[in-house]
Amino acid sequence: MSWKFDGEQIVCAVPFCGSDLLVLQADSRYALGSGGRGLRHWMRQLPCCEDAYLGRLPDGRWQCGTCKCWYSASHSNSVLALTRSHDRIGVDVQFPCHRPAAMRWLAAVSGLQNATITHWAAAEAMLKASGRAGVRPQPGWAVLPEMFGAENEVQMGDGTTGEVVVTTVQGAILAVCRLCETVGASCPK
Ligand SMILES: [Zn+2]
């Protein structure tokens, strides 16, 4: 890799779910707050375009003001995940924990038999990609798969389709959601 992230340990930097994914081992200053610092640093080190600059929409999503590339960040304990794509993108990192009430609630609003921390991470990634982070989902807000495979098609309540990919990294569940621009279309690979 020909670029540096200021001495932070890069866990992986790979294409993932139609996005560029960068995972850092970070107790780091880049992991503070909303992840904007990490995203800005990434943008400076490896710009998405000429004149790249990071803007923030009123709904909390990050986007390059020049090329309109979407950015997302998530931080949990020692893991900081950064992602970017030309499609709307959301990333979430969750360490496994016992939250039975939260899982029952997620199952109820998502129509799942059984919700797990992986569903939780996927739901957060979907909400972030769609600009609804911080909005409490209502029943029917999305259709999630009961089980996650290598690729997983998801559908938001408004008909927008997308793809969710989940993995584990450093003991955490990591989910990335990429939404398609066209309602009802399958995401191009
Ligand atoms: Zn750009």
Confidence at residue 25, expressed as pLDDT on a 0 to 100 scale: 80
For 30-68, how does the pLDDT look when each residue is reduced to its tens digit (9 = 90+)? 656 668 888 998 899 889 999 999 999 999 999 999 999
45 alpha carbon to ligand 1 midpoint, in Å?
12
Confidence at residue 2, expressed as pLDDT on a 0 to 100 scale: 38
Any domain includes 70? yes
Confidence at residue 50, expressed as pLDDT on a 0 to 100 scale: 94
Q: Which is it for strands 62-64 and 54-56: parallel, antiparallel or unpaired?
A: antiparallel
85 alpha carbon to ligand 1 midpoint, in Å?
10
138 alpha carbon to ligand 1 midpoint, in Å?
34
63 and 115 belong to one structural domain: no
The candidate with the shortest Cα–Cα distance to 151, out of 110, 95, 189, is 189
151 and 106 belong to one structural domain: yes
81 and 39 belong to one structural domain: yes
Low-confidence residues of the chain, pLDDT below 70? 1-8, 26-34, 181-189
Q: How many domains does the chain have?
A: 2
8 A C-beta contact, residue 146 and residue 134 = no
Confidence at residue 53, expressed as pLDDT on a 0 to 100 scale: 94
Confidence at residue 10, expressed as pLDDT on a 0 to 100 scale: 77
Confidence at residue 171, expressed as pLDDT on a 0 to 100 scale: 92
User: CA-to-CA distance for 162 and 47, rounded, in angstroms?
Assistant: 25
The candidate with the shortest Cα–Cα distance to 121, out of 172, 181, 179, 178, is 172
48 alpha carbon to ligand 1 midpoint, in Å?
4
76 and 117 belong to one structural domain: no
Confidence at residue 119, expressed as pLDDT on a 0 to 100 scale: 96
**Predicted model pTM:** 0.90
17 and 79 belong to one structural domain: yes
Any domain includes 188? no
User: CA-to-CA distance for 55 and 72, rounded, in angstroms?
Assistant: 12
65 and 131 belong to one structural domain: no
119 alpha carbon to ligand 1 midpoint, in Å?
31
113 and 162 belong to one structural domain: yes
Confidence at residue 189, expressed as pLDDT on a 0 to 100 scale: 53
Q: Residue 156 CA to chain centroid, in angstroms?
A: 15
Distances 11 to 23, 24, 62, 78, 168 between C-alpha atoms, Å? 5, 5, 23, 11, 12
Confidence at residue 19, expressed as pLDDT on a 0 to 100 scale: 87
8 A C-beta contact, residue 39 and residue 27 = no
Q: What angle do CA 184, 84, 13 make, to 5 degrees?
A: 125
What is the token pair recorded at 85?
């794509």
54 alpha carbon to ligand 1 midpoint, in Å?
8
Domain end, chosen from 86, 108, 138, is at 86
Q: Which domain holds residue 116?
A: 100-179
Residue with tokens 């904007």: 36
